[in-house]
Structure 1
């Protein structure tokens, strides 16, 4: 059976502030074939998200020149629970509208400083005018619309905590975190906010040769 992809690129993203290597930084792994078609892997560790984005662009560009079909995977959510875009009163396809909204609001500087907690608070203000559904922040980032801890049970009960894919997985042994959680062990909310604008830029640079699964592929 023919291979679906000629190379696979997996990025372990981060929402951390400040330049650093090692733990809580950007790691990118590549699996591809050499000139003799033997599979091998390479690993990259960069100090900032800007460097990570530049490296992803470089790697993808190199494979495109060779005519390779490449699968890129990232460890953050590409979407939000059903109804989020509607609660924010966004127009258009929900996933694309969310991506556009996030890209327009997130400021992620070259030194890794970013405003993800302020954006989370804005989402709460627009959705509920309360400190939910997004939650979790260091004490210095807490404010009227974003708390350090999870809201009381029943808060925002009409807003799904998980996406459909997570609800399905949670029926088994795996217990994924909700994208609403911004801070704490295993939280993915911050990575999602700083990650989506990067993926959006990658797709724009790729044009019709790039697509995001499942939204752009079916």
Structure 2
């Protein structure tokens, strides 16, 4: 029997409120409970998403069900970054560091300014790049013409995951840098709100009722059927696929050692 009864997957967004009409490139989530899939949920901004996530975790804990909760953004940065920024290699300290410094509202946030501030600390031309705002930001290059990264460009897992983007790119098609910076504070608050009930993979033993897991839906899924929003379809399919895997296969996928950088579930270590 699987150690989890509920699987929930979340497709995250680093941008602003997407409006009332369900659309692509927004936050989508789907819950599969006891192998039965619910309809995907459209969450127009991170504030609504965080409330939804808190309600989900609280509900599953109250019901005595163990929850596998996946997010489609990196849980860590390339080796050396956390130590240089926080004085500790522990990526969970880095989560708290961002939570302390990110200002977020449905219509605006400070992610690009914070990226520029971090860059200035390391000389002003990296590690972050791609300013997505119209105004210039001191220290945050718009492109790689003058870019210089004092840290590895990729995590170990990203060398194995074909098509993956680096944590450093803050804007542009497919970029995940904004998702990471705007997602880690939410995970930090979930860990604090449900202290002692949440474990973050692969940094902690999965011996708590709730497991936070890094996923990448596009790793195994193609295009959705006609008429489906890709993000909504993918979170449902990933949740269904994971819950249907044999227990031994679930455990094998989680048997990864990456204590600083994190890992993408499903990428085979070499």
Give TM class, smaller chain: 0.7 to 0.9
Is the 1:17–1:113 contact (alpha carbons within 8 Å) kept by the matching residues of 2?
Answer: yes
Aligned pair 1:51/2:45, yes or no?
A: no
Is the 1:117–1:141 contact (alpha carbons within 8 Å) kept by the matching residues of 2?
Answer: no
Kindly tell me: are residues 129 and 152 of structure 1, through their superposed partners in 2, closer, same or farther at Cα, counting changes over 3 Å? closer
Is the 2:130–2:140 contact (alpha carbons within 8 Å) kept by the matching residues of 1?
Answer: yes
- Structure 2 Cα separation of the partners of residues 40 and 99 of structure 1: 30
**What CA RMSD, in Å, does the superposition of the two structures yield over aligned residues?**
1.7
Moved more, 92-101 or 207-216: 92-101
TM-score by length of 1: 0.87
- Structure 1 Cα separation of the partners of residues 31 and 107 of structure 2: 23
Match of 1:214 in 2: 202
Shift in Å at residue 152 of structure 1? 4.4
Consecutive unaligned residues of structure 2, counting only runs of 5 or more, are 206-256, 258-270
| SS at structure 1 position matched to 2:29 | strand
Listed one character per residue, the Cα deviations across residues 76-104 of structure 1 (whole Å, up to 9, x for unaligned) are 1110000002322x233431221122111
Moved more, 191-200 or 140-149: 140-149
| SS at structure 2 position matched to 1:207 | coil
Which of 107, 110, 122 matches 2:103?
Answer: 107
Match of 2:83 in 1: 86
Aligned pair 1:24/2:25, yes or no?
A: yes
- Structure 2 Cα separation of the partners of residues 165 and 19 of structure 1: 31
Equivalent runs, 1:136-155 vs 2, <5 Å = 136-152=130-146, 155=148
Match of 2:5 in 1: 6
Equivalent runs, 1:145-184 vs 2, <5 Å = 145-152=139-146, 155-156=148-149, 158-169=150-161, 174-184=162-172
- Structure 2 Cα separation of the partners of residues 29 and 55 of structure 1: 11
TM-score by length of 2: 0.71
Kindly tell me: are residues 197 and 28 of structure 1, through their superposed partners in 2, closer, same or farther at Cα, counting changes over 3 Å? same
Alignment size in residue pairs: 204
Aligned pair 1:130/2:124, yes or no?
A: yes
Consecutive unaligned residues of structure 1, counting only runs of 5 or more, are none
List 4+ stretches of structure 1 deviating above 3 A. none
**Bigger relative CO (Cα 8 Å, ≥ 6 apart):** 2
| SS at structure 1 position matched to 2:48 | helix
Moved more, 113-122 or 20-29: 20-29
| SS at structure 1 position matched to 2:70 | strand
Shift in Å at residue 168 of structure 1? 2.9
